[in-house]
Chain A
Amino acid sequence: MTLLRQGFAGRGPLVRLPGLAPLFLALTLLVLGVLIVLPLGVVFHQAFARGLEAYLEPLKQPDALAAIRLTLVVAAISVPLNAVFGVAAAWAVARFEFRGKSLLVTFIDLPFSMSPVVSGLVWVLLFGAQGWFGPWLQDHGVKIIFATTGLVLATTLVTLPFVARELIPLMQDQGADEEAAALTLGAGGWTTFFRVTLPNIKWALLYGVLLCNARAMGEFGAVSVVSGSVRGLTTTLPLHVEVLYNDYEFVGAFAAASILAGLGLLTLVLKTVLEWRHSGELSASRRH
């Protein structure tokens, strides 16, 4: 299972159903146009509905800037956490045989099939004032829910599978030969990791991080449960879109949304460039 792969058009005498080409092309364009391009167009159209001035104005508000900053902070914490976890988990799964391995893989996948709302809910059940650890935390002055920590936890849970999922097939494919060679030549464990393992997986890792980051910045359902939506303090950019929308600031809401859409597009561009330049290294995991 691999998400979001792009490749090259087939060459040679493959089945192409050439007669159907125009029909298929037209249908594809129609489907993508209606389903995907139109919503994107609406976001930008609404954002610029009253000109550039009106577009920039809401983005200069302190609350908007705080939301942007918070989104970046949350992503800056949860993405590296998941990157480290992803490498460690992929390493464990690809290199070692142990009992409960398939269980581990299942748990890595689990956040995929969990509703984001549930991903937020579980933290409330744990750390909310009425939750298991809530009273203890409160007595000790530690705030998790309705603070940055809670936002980070919810985001981390939602984006957990992305890096690990990219790396596992690749590392399984590559095998441990090179690492074994390095170890025989007397290199230490960490040296081997940084000189051999990491360079081998760096592009796939970067790719996974990119996906993880896109999702982390755009997450809405999970963070809305744990945010408390205090303006300028616990609203991330997607939540700020909702706040503005409810303030009847439609231009502002779509302006903030267009930043997120822009981030999404930037991710896509980076991804395409990455694949274009390193398609060979990435293709290993594509076959799974």
Chain B
Amino acid sequence: MWLGLVVVLPLTALVLRPWEVGLSGIWSTLTEDRVLAALRLSFGVSLLAALTNIPLGLMTAWTLTRYEFPGRRVIDALVDLPFALPTAVAGIALTAIYGPTGVLGEPLAKLGIKAAYNPIGIYIALLFIGLPFVVRTVQPVLQDLDREVEEAAQTLGATNLQRFRLVVLPAVLPALVSGFSLAFARAVGEYGSVIFIAGNMPLKSEIAPLLIVIKLEQYDYAGAATVGLAMLLISFGALLAVNGLQLVLARRGRA
């Protein structure tokens, strides 16, 4: 009942609203250059950021579970910060850092890299918000990894690298995939932290959620709902595909 009220009812509105303008209206909205570019950018950069977060997250989780060092607990807790920090705050802070006069923005600019106000800025913001998702899904698996298998591999004379590749990696792969999909899903929809740093140039650095807001401000409710629905469907499809992949991986892992 509650679910119906809070999730299903609003979704119905989202699904039905675009039809006001008919199929042709939906089609013409979706084929607008700006809409296509924004969707491509949102999903593209999110994919890239989520992919980058795989090695970064795996490494972080690895360090946190396998090594003892002073301050490990503090660092472990800090991993969750992007999750607890309000996105708008993160956006302002990141812009301050990577802007042309920022701590990192200035040296980067000297190297000819413009960090803020273009897709690199979006990428950085999405890295920031996605990292905890990968770390937190991989970490428990690394901890619970069957010690005996690793030991057995060791006795069989497998090198460290071999053991990592043949024993550890297959075991954490499903978790990596699900961490990736969470980071990806979160990144696609992200608004608060991105708009400050993105630059918001049409066709270049304008993300899909911003386009929804812009459409809304032009009183184009159906258009806004269309873009929202398209985003939801694409990320839903992507999540389904990832879940399917995960099932395959899990089965292969068991076999």
Contact = CB atoms under 8 A, between A and B. Distances in A.
A and B touch in the complex (CB under 8 A): yes
B247 interface: no
B237 to A, nearest CB: 10
B140 interface: yes
Interface of chain A, helix or strand or loop or mixed? helix
Interface residues of B, number: 93
B239 to A, nearest CB: 6
Contact of B80 (A17, A268, A286): A268
Contacts of B133: 3
Interface of chain B, helix or strand or loop or mixed? helix
Nearest to B194: A221
Contacts of A265: 81, 84
B87 A287 contact: no
Interface in B127-164: 127-128, 131-133, 136-137, 139-140, 142-145, 147, 150-151, 153-154, 160, 163-164
A157 B66 CA distance: 38
A107 B10 contact: no
A258 to B, nearest CB: 9
A136 interface: no
A70 to B, nearest CB: 14
A181 interface: no
Contact of B236 (A8, A17, A113, A241): A113
Contact of A214 (B84, B92, B140): B84
Nearest to A222: B191
Among B63, B65, B133, residue most surrounded by chain A Cβ atoms (within 10 Å): B63
Given A116-B191, A125-B17, 15 more contacts: A2-B136, A5-B136, A6-B76, A15-B168, A36-B78, A107-B7, A118-B228, A118-B232, A160-B6, A218-B86, A221-B209, A225-B216, A238-B87, A261-B85, A272-B76
Interface of B: 2-3, 6-11, 13-14, 17, 56, 59-60, 62-69, 72-73, 75-90, 92-94, 96-97, 103-104, 127-128, 131-133, 136-137, 139-140, 142-145, 147, 150-151, 153-154, 160, 163-164, 167-168, 178, 182, 185-186, 188-192, 208-209, 212-213, 216, 221, 224-225, 228, 231-232, 235-236, 239
